[in-house]
Structure 1
């Protein structure tokens, strides 16, 4: 495997080994984890887990659940196992392609088995943008054509009735996410993430309940940076693990 770095998340509460190059855990992972309403006893599935950053940060807040990490790259999955051990988390790491039902079933991922699904899916699909020459980064950022609907359908299929899906995506794909997820989820909540108060949103945090008929809610936006370019107090607290977005 390529060079590995040892990084700290949530002010040192989570230790994360991850590749030095390619896709690396950052603000998106922090915000997704901070939006996860986990409680003791929940079956929590981190779909597209890479080295496990999101699930590990959620477990740092509430470890009394069953955590399952789903990652198709065997090398990243092995790093995820290592990270779980080093953070004292007993968890299952499934090597599976979430887009392939046979692969999911072979890895033991059963329909309607999860209370909470967390996902930071690849943001683009083939043909939408130039793909990075780095294989790891390309796999993390691009799905095959039509892949977003297949990804979200697989995620919702893993949810129990009234289970919750929480995901982060590009703000400019909000309408597409809502159109797809509206087939299965209700009570959806949106929180837009802006790089600064005077700039358009770049991310959306979306949450919904399987089978709910409750209406859509738009939550207060999150502003990441102040006029000085530094994290706002709220963004800083989120990165240090001293706050959530719940």
Structure 2
């Protein structure tokens, strides 16, 4: 099984078309593949026209590039720790004509500020968005594929540590947006204390009446406004097809309101 998992990652990246064909994303055929999570995150993040956004743990650039495509005035930074994946993100920037507005840096979110690239300075970003690894290392068996393992499993930190490191990149009154699993919510909310206010929580349901399978969480650095619970975002109708709202978001024709 392990040999098979490695062998399927060999070869040229596969080109996937997202946002109704308006974005081409080169992805490893056997590695982690961006999908609905990245689409929802990008649609929920609203980059100010004169602001700077950072996509932390960007992978091949899926969420950040979708955001840049949706917000023509936005300029951003894709942060990825793995060199090969960062190189693929750079190819995606060029492929989509976004290299002048979106930069890619290979960097560790948890490195000391002095050891990071100058582009990743603290308290600079107007917006930080992140689709982080969903699982702690001690509670899940990591995939034998290194790319999948990096995308799904935290190295040695907790969910709250990741959130705190992301918020440190935000300028005062900057906005943070993430997508995550519902079971991470207690740790995320605890990490927001003293860092983020005006929190907005929106559950994502697979079908009407079901439990949440994801949460979208947003907040403003330094705000003291209370938390607000937004209506659920429903992905599929009873027939299994996308709801009209989800279809519009996946085609890049609508945002996810938070």
With structure 1 as the length reference, what TM-score do the two structures score? 0.96
Q: Which residue of structure 2 lines up, in the alignment, with residue 94 of structure 1? A: 105
Please list every run of 5 or more consecutive structure 2 residues that lacks an aligned counterpart in the other structure. Answer: 1-8
Alpha-carbon displacement from aligned partner over 1:210-236 (angstroms, at most 9, x marks no partner): 000000000010111111111111111
Cα distance in 1 for residues equivalent to 2:207 and 2:17: 25
Residues 74 and 144 (structure 1), Cα distance of their counterparts in 2 relative to 1, 3 Å cut: closer
Structure-2 residue corresponding to 1:242: 253
Deviation at 1:104, TM superposition (A): 5.7
Q: Give 2:217's aligned residue.
A: 206
Q: Calculate the aligned-residue CA RMSD, in Å.
A: 1.4
Residue 31 of structure 1: SS of its match in structure 2?
A: helix
8 Å CA contact 2:105–2:117 kept in 1: the answer is: no
- Report which stretch shifted further, 101-110 or 145-154: 101-110
Residue 217 of structure 1, aligned match among 228, 241, 245: 228
Q: Deviations over 1:30-58 (max 9, x none)?
A: 00000011121110100000110101111
CA deviation map 1:52-97 (0-9, x unaligned): 0101111111122221000011111111111111111122111001
Partner of 2:53: 44
Task: Between 45-54 and 88-97, report the one with greater CA deviation.
Answer: 88-97
In the alignment, structure 1 residue 72 sits paired with structure 2 residue 81: yes
Residue number in structure 1 paired with 2:3: none
> Residues 184 and 210 of structure 1 are in contact (CA less than 8 Å); yes or no, is this contact kept in structure 2?
yes
CA shift, 1:173, in A, is: 1.3
Closer, same or farther: CA 152–104 of 1 in aligned 2, 3 Å: farther
1:120–1:169 Cα contact (<8 Å) kept: yes
Count of residue pairs the alignment pairs up: 246
SS in structure 1 opposite 2:203? Answer: strand
Q: Which residue of 2 aligns with 1:151?
A: 162
| Structure 1 residues 165-244: aligned runs within 5 Å | 165-244=176-255
- 2:4: which partner in 1? none
The separation in 2 between residues aligned to 1:229 and 1:103, in whole angstroms, is 50
CA–CA separation in structure 2 for the residues paired with 1:167 and 1:5: 26
Q: Which deviates more from structure 2 when the two are superposed, residues 205-214 or residues 32-41? A: 32-41
Using the TM superposition, name which of 111-120 and 144-153 deviates more. Answer: 144-153
> Unaligned 5+ residue runs, structure 1?
none
